[in-house]
Chain A
Amino acid sequence: MKKAALRQSFNTGIIFGIAHIFCVLIAFNAMLGSLLVKIVGIKSSATTPLASALIAYAVLLGLWAGITAARRKREASGKERLQASLITGFSVGLMAALLVAVFQVLLSDKINPRDYLTNLSFPFMRACLFQLGAFLGIAANFLIFFLSSFLGGLFVFIWNLPAVTSAWHKAFSAPKVWIAKLRGETGKQRRITNIIFYALLFAVIAILPIEWGSYWNYVMGTVGLYVILGLGLNIIVGLSGQLVLGYIAFFAIGAYTMALLNAPEPHNWMWGFWPALILAVILAALSGLIIGLPLMRLRGDYLAIVTLGFGEIIRILLKSDVLTSFTGGPRGIQDIHGPTLFGKPFNDIDYMYLIILAVILAIYIYNRLQHSRTGRAWLAVREDETVARATGVDTQRYKLLALMIGAAFAGLAGAIYASRNAFTGPDEHSLMASINVLCLIIVGGMGNIPGTLLGAFALKGLPEILREVENYRMLVFGALLVAMMIIRPEGLIPSQRPTLELPEDSPNPNPPDLAVRSEAKPTGEDPHDR
């Protein structure tokens, strides 16, 4: 094997080895392992994980290392691929073995590193050695990585065999053809299938909130609110290209408006749900205008930092004792009364329906805006603000409009959120929450609706379902943001511009409103007069 390729495979292994060591030190291996064995029904705890869980994790990582190594060069031969995965497996295995060797030393000398590296308790370290003694544990670590890396390489090898490649292509394209046929050939047929699809979807959505219990209503309700937030932020960031980092401040304004107008403390202004909701949206939009006005000239990165500053100012003010008499202070506002339906207060099912309606409204508005003169103006501003202005777009006005509408979305979501939870407090409106929404639209797909739905579900729904991931959520978000920017900045579902229905070629290429030279010179009526 050539020297350069050898070194590359070895380095790949080192990188995976470092990642592995990091994962062990933060107990990520235990968490991931417990998720993996959960699928087959075995329970493994995070602090004292089962050896089987850690083995599952190791195999997974080894496979990935081997696959990466084997895929490095596209034109490599099968033999080269296998060799690459072997070398990588060797170096990863070596590092894994070294790590547990250190663990063994700590165990036998009874040195507890727990004060410094919190996850390295004695039971944990013993589990990393797969509960086998010193020598066996170290050897097992090496072997598992080595072998699974090789397996990964084997997988790639088989994958690249011509027979397999063609079979896969056939298998893949068949469903696509099938689905296309199902949707219909002509425009009319496609419209009918669309209607049937949406009707079915509607029926499902209408029934689910009643059937699936209050836990799911809560989780999916939160997802729904984050969809609204994502769409609102998408108007600001995805469509008009302004990176705003304090977005959650508008959510806070909506939440606090609802809270202050519906709770016995601190003011006992009981305005009722619906008036408060409308006011929340209006106030949020107004604050978008107020915050936006002074910032219109700022460039992208400065705008981001300043909006971050605004968000933090609002949070600090809400949390401080200074404004407690007005806003309830660090404790927040409790016992927020909700809306009533025919005299009965809303229960979780009613809230779910409310959220569904709000989501549908948000999607509808977003969709209409996207395909309009306003939406195109926003996109022009995003693409090239200077040129957009020179082409006739009043960029300042449109940037403010985007901020206001985006803020209004957040205000709506915040008001519903506060009402549903019957509580809101300053800690809910932190910078991290803003970053959550940003992450959601970046990972899902900037500027489009399916991307926002995907992002909301993946980043809000999944962690709720997979409770184990909770501690690692922000870590993964951070890594995801970096990775997405490098690999796929447009998001998982990239935005595609719509295909407009264009009239067929007209034989006379003269637009009607420009006076043609052969006709009389323009009379007093100048088409440019406004």
Chain B
Amino acid sequence: MTADTSSDLRRKSRQLIKLIRPLLGGIVGLFLVYRLYIVLIVEHPYGPDTWTRLLIAGLILGGVYSLVAIGYTLVYGILFMINFAHGEVMMIGAFSGYFVFEALNAIKIQDSNFLNTYAYFSVLIAFIVGMTVSALTGYFLEKIAYRPLRKAPRLVPLISAIGASIFLQNAVELLFSPQLRNYTNPTFLTRGAGWTININHSNVIIPYTGVFSFVLSAVLLIILYTIVRKTRLGRAMRAVALDKKTAALMGVDVDSTISKTFILSGALAGAAGVMWGIHNGLVYYYTGFIPGIKAFTAAVLGGIGNLPGAMLGGMFLGIVESMGPAALGIDFQLKDVLAFVILIVVLIFKPSGLLGESLAEEKV
């Protein structure tokens, strides 16, 4: 090949590559519009009662995803790394809640047990224990697997995070067996029970557990937002996220701030885990993995490092995951695929997310 044709080819292939992204975007967009049209306008497989059910499920799921997504975003904002093991932190919280409920269920009081006699208190204990254990897990995770690697090239802590994730999953599996554990809820939070409303001659249940999850998620998110915006710790976190060195020079204890960030994000994940257990009932060692990735998708969707973005991204993903397969007329088995596809699409077309700021060009 002479020099001319090789550089010509190079130029042509570069032009071709530049076209690929908009082309892909166009194909995906067209497909979506087509499917939505078919389902919503042509056929009407589902009535408003089903849509309402899906929406409710989506909101509940969204709340959980938001809580976990915040954890990813906080850690990324401060360390620029993806805490791959965050899903496992949530799973550990779920297990802690399970054990608390089991223990309280076993304590006999008159002809009932502790769990149902002091129901509200039991739930409180479960959450406190779950959040504490998860917070501690997050703390030790950072101390053992991430802190020694602060100065390493970026792939090294990521691999360490993957290793930590695998380790935690398998540790829980070996300790407590791979068997699915069933949450014993106190009576006022029985799964499946709730307020009924009648839509389209069909009873749509608004589950107690769901409302509880959603309200608690909202409360925790508000508390977190206040912490980040108004307290000293929040200011320290934002300072370290913006410029570690300068924050240190200004007297911020960087190590302690980072630890506290992990503790905070762990606590939120723990709460999400207990909520998951209460609402969905079944937990086992793999419970955290897929929700973890989805929560990460939500964080990226909203703009990684961006707090309100993570919250919105979580809600958005929950609703889309719940209503998406029905709206697009595809098999419900593929709802996980939907989340992954969203992740890939966002990262290809708008890596800074919907609300995020674009990262500065690389300093040379």
Is there direct touching of A and B in the complex, by C-beta distance under 8 Å? yes
Q: Which residue of chain A is the closest to B25 with respect to CB atoms?
A: A294
Cβ-based interface call for A221 (8 A): no
> Are A243 and B158 in touch, CB under 8 angstroms?
yes
Q: Is the CB of A317 within 8 A of B337?
A: yes
What separation, in Å, do the CA atoms of A295 and B296 have in the docked complex? Answer: 18
A513 an interface residue at 8 Å Cβ cutoff?
Answer: no
The answer to whether the Cβ of A396 comes within 8 Å of any Cβ in the partner chain is yes
For B160, the chain A residues whose CB sits under 8 A away are 481-482, 485-486
Stretch of A33-41, A360-368, A467-475 with 4 or more beta carbons under 8 angstroms from chain B: A467-475
**Whole-angstrom distance from the CB of A109 to the nearest CB of chain B?**
14
CA distance A298 to B359 in the complex (A): 13
Residues of A within 8 A of B255 (CB): none
B364 touches A482 (CB 8 A): no
Q: B157 touching A485 by the CB < 8 A rule?
A: yes
Residue of A nearest to B349 (CB): A294
Distance of A480 Cα from B293 Cα, bound (Å): 23
| B138 to A: closest C-beta gap in Å | 15
Q: Does B229 sit at the interface, judged by CB under 8 A? A: no
Would A26 and B344 count as touching, CB distance under 8 A?
no
Q: What 1/0 mask marks residues of chain A from 506 to 530 whose CB sits below 8 Å from any chain B CB?
A: 0000000000000000000000011
Contacting pair A301 B333 (CB below 8 A) = no
Is there an interface contact between A481 and B166, defined as CB atoms closer than 8 Å? yes
Look across to chain B and name the residue whose beta carbon is closest to the beta carbon of A472.
Answer: B174
- Provide the B100-117 mask, 1 if CB < 8 A to any CB of A, else 0: 001000000000000000
Minimal Cβ-Cβ distance residue in B for A242:
B155
For the complex, what is the distance from the CA of A478 to the CA of B167, rounded to whole Å? Answer: 4
Nearest CB to that of B177 among chain A residues? Answer: A118
- Contact A386 to B348, CB < 8 A, known contacts A301-B158, A313-B341, A478-B167: no
Contact A309 B163 (CB under 8 A): no
User: In the complex, what residues of B have CB within 8 A of residue A435's CB?
Assistant: 162, 166
Scoring A residues 163 to 185 as 1 if CB is less than 8 Å from chain B, else 0, what string do you get? 00000000000000000000000
Asked whether, in the complex, the Cβ of B347 is within 8 Å of the Cβ of A486, the reply is: no
Q: Which B residues are in CB contact (< 8 Å) with A6?
A: none
Asked if A278 is at the interface (CB within 8 A of a chain B CB), the reply is: no
Q: Which of B24, B169, B175 lies in contact with A26, CB distance below 8 A?
A: B175
Q: Which of A192-227 contact B (CB under 8 A)?
A: none
Chain B residues with Cβ below 8 Å from A119 are 174-175
Which single member of A309, A322, A474, A530 contacts B166 (CB below 8 Å)? Answer: A474
Chain B stretch 4-23: residues in CB contact (< 8 A) with chain A: 4, 6-7, 10, 13, 17, 20-21
**Which residues in window 322-364 of B have CB below 8 A to A?**
330-331, 333-334, 336-337, 340-341, 343-344, 347-348, 351, 362, 364
- Nearest-CB distance from B37 to chain A (Å)? 21
Q: Which of A285-317 contact B (CB under 8 A)?
A: 293-302, 304-306, 308-310, 312-313, 316-317
Q: Are A300 and B155 also in contact (CB < 8 A) when A305-B296, A312-B336, A481-B166 are?
A: yes
A116 at the interface (CB under 8 A from B): yes
Do the beta carbons of B155 and A243 come within 8 Å of each other? Answer: yes
Q: Which residue of chain A has the shortest Cβ distance to B179 in the bound complex?
A: A118
Chain B residues positioned under 8 Å from A478 (CB to CB): 163-170
Q: Which of chain B's residues have a CB closer than 8 A to the CB of A482? A: 144-145, 160, 163-164, 167
Q: Give the residue name and chain of the B residue nearest to A489 (CB).
A: B156
Contact B344 A310 (CB under 8 A): yes
Q: Which residue of A lies closest to B158 (CB)?
A: A301
Q: Tell me how far the C-beta of A422 lies from the nearest C-beta in chain B, rounded to whole angstroms.
A: 28
What residues of B have a CB within 8 angstroms of the CB of A300 in the complex?
Answer: 154-155, 158
Q: CA–CA, A295 to B167, complex, Å? A: 29
Contact B175 A479 (CB under 8 A): no
Q: Interface size bucket, A side?
A: 35 or more
**Complex contacts, B99 vs chain A, CB 8 Å:** 116
Question: Cβ of B171 < 8 Å from any Cβ of A?
Answer: yes
Interface check A394, CB cutoff 8 A: yes
Tell which of A117, A305, A317 has the most Cβ of chain B within 10 Å: A305
Q: When chains A and B are docked, how far (Å) is the Cα of A438 from the Cα of B159?
A: 9
Interface residues of A in 104-130 (CB under 8 A from B): 116-119
In the complex, which residue of chain A has the Cβ closest to the Cβ of B165?
A478
Complex contact A298–B347 (CB within 8 A): yes
Query: Does any Cβ of B come within 8 Å of A27's Cβ?
Result: yes
Q: Which residue of A lies closest to B13 (CB)?
A: A397
**Contact A481 to B159, CB < 8 A, known contacts A472-B174, A489-B152:** yes
> How long is the Cα–Cα vector from A304 to B82 in the complex, in angstroms?
10
Cβ of A333 under 8 Å from chain B: no
Q: Which residue of B lies closest to A312 (CB)?
A: B340
Q: In whole Å, how far is B117's beta carbon from the nearest beta carbon of chain A?
A: 23
Known contacts A294-B24, A320-B333: A309-B344 contact under CB 8 Å? yes
B81 within 8 A of A: yes
Complex Cα distance, B364 from A386, in Å, reads 9
A354 within 8 A of B: no
Complex Cα distance, B19 from A293, in Å, reads 11
A477 is an interface residue with CB less than 8 A from chain B: yes
313-371 of chain A: CB within 8 A of chain B: 313, 316-317, 320-322
> How close is A335's CB to chain B, nearest CB, in angstroms?
26
Would A322 and B331 count as touching, CB distance under 8 A? Answer: yes
Evaluate contact between B167 and A442: CB separation under 8 angstroms. no
- By a beta-carbon cutoff of 8 Å, the part of chain A in contact with chain B is 22, 25-28, 116-119, 241, 243, 245, 293-302, 304-306, 308-310, 312-313, 316-317, 320-322, 386, 394, 396-397, 435, 438, 442, 471-472, 474-475, 477-483, 485-486, 489, 529-530
Interface positions of B (Cβ within 8 A of A) = 3-4, 6-7, 10, 13, 17, 20-21, 24, 81-82, 99, 102, 144-145, 148-149, 152, 154-160, 162-171, 174-177, 179, 293, 296, 300, 330-331, 333-334, 336-337, 340-341, 343-344, 347-348, 351, 362, 364
Q: A300-B158, A320-B334, A481-B163 are in contact. List 6 more A-B contacts (CB 8 A).
A: A301-B82, A306-B343, A312-B293, A312-B336, A475-B174, A481-B166
- Sample of 12 A–B contacts (CB below 8 Å): A116-B176, A118-B177, A294-B21, A296-B17, A301-B158, A313-B340, A316-B334, A322-B331, A322-B333, A322-B334, A482-B160, A530-B3
What 6 A-B pairs have minimum CB-CB distances, sorted nearest first?
A: A481-B163, A478-B167, A478-B166, A26-B174, A118-B177, A475-B170
